[in-house]
Amino acid sequence: MAYLFHSLVYQPIYNILIAVYNIIPDFGIAIIIVTVLVKLVLIPLSKKQIESQKKMQELQPRIKEIQAKHKNDKEKQSRAMMELYKETKSNPFSGCLPMVVQLVFLIAIYRVLFNISQAGLIANAGDLYGFIHNPGQINKMFLGTVDLSSAIDFAHITISSLPHILLVIAAAGAQFIQTKMLMAKQPVKVTKADEADFSQIMTKQMLFLGPLLTLFIGVKFPAGLALYWLVSTGFMVAQQRYMEKKEALAIVK
């Protein structure tokens, strides 16, 4: 399994990244281009995942009704849920496969950037295809301002650290916006005890946990990962906005 992951996912991404860098000798721009390319390839899967999530959100009121009606009979509850899914032609697991595939690519590009950063931004000849030129030492500066191979050193903060800090904050901000958009169509419902639903509480907590996790990654790991996270999340935000506008136009027509 590890061999397949390395050969079919990790190595192609590694070589595409180096190939782009050979054409445009700015590693930050190469990261942006490859991230966008990967996201474009995964659009059909991410679109299916978003549609599946939206459909399940729309079914939540009916699911809650079934759970409340058959709370003391799990068999009837399961049967009623299956009938609901059959009636609405929905599958609670339909969004899992796209998510898994996207996660595999996310892990791959993360490992590529992490390994290159750990190697001091020196390309590994063993991972390069024969037709890809080995650039050797990669220029670590993004637009001449951000050192992509280093994390933020709070013990030695200078004015030159500002672009890196802004990059991390922007990545966390993009994560906040994406989570907020996912929550936008999830109206808060209350139980008879006037307490928010547990799943809704967890979703609301993710609004802050996600950006905090992004901040942690951006601070503790090389800046190249923060740049990837910013571009990847920004792409997802743009894609979701496009899908929402397309849906709104369809409703108007």
The predicted structure's pLDDT at residue 199: 53
- Is residue 12's pLDDT more than 80? yes
Q: Mean pLDDT, to the nearest integer, of 181-200?
A: 54
- DSSP assignment letter at 132: S
Give the residue-averaged pLDDT of 185-202.
51
Query: Average pLDDT, stretch 192-206?
Result: 55
Q: What pLDDT score was predicted for residue 61?
A: 80
Range ranked top by mean pLDDT from 42-51, 66-75, 109-118, 224-233: 224-233
Contacts from 7-14 at CB under 8 Å and sequence distance 24+? Answer: 9/104, 9/105, 9/108, 10/108, 10/111, 10/112, 10/127, 11/127, 11/129, 13/38, 13/105, 13/108, 13/109, 13/112, 14/112, 14/124, 14/127, 14/128
Q: What's the pLDDT band for 95 if we cut at 50, 70, 90?
A: low
pTM of the model: 0.76
Distant-in-sequence, close-in-space partners of 4: CB < 8 Å, separation ≥ 6: none
Instruction: Check residue 253 and give its pLDDT.
Output: 61
The share of the chain scoring above pLDDT 90, in percent, equals 13
Token pair 């191979």: residue: 149
Average pLDDT value over all residues in the chain: 80
Asked if residue 197 has pLDDT above 60, the reply is: no
The secondary structure element, H or E, covering residue 28 is helix 27-41
5-9, 19-23, 50-54, 70-74: range with highest mean pLDDT? 19-23
The span from the CA of 102 to the CA of 6, in Å, is: 16
Residue 195 has pLDDT above 50, yes or no: no
Task: Answer whether residue 202 shows pLDDT above 70.
Answer: no
Residue 247, number of CB atoms within 10 A of its CB: 12
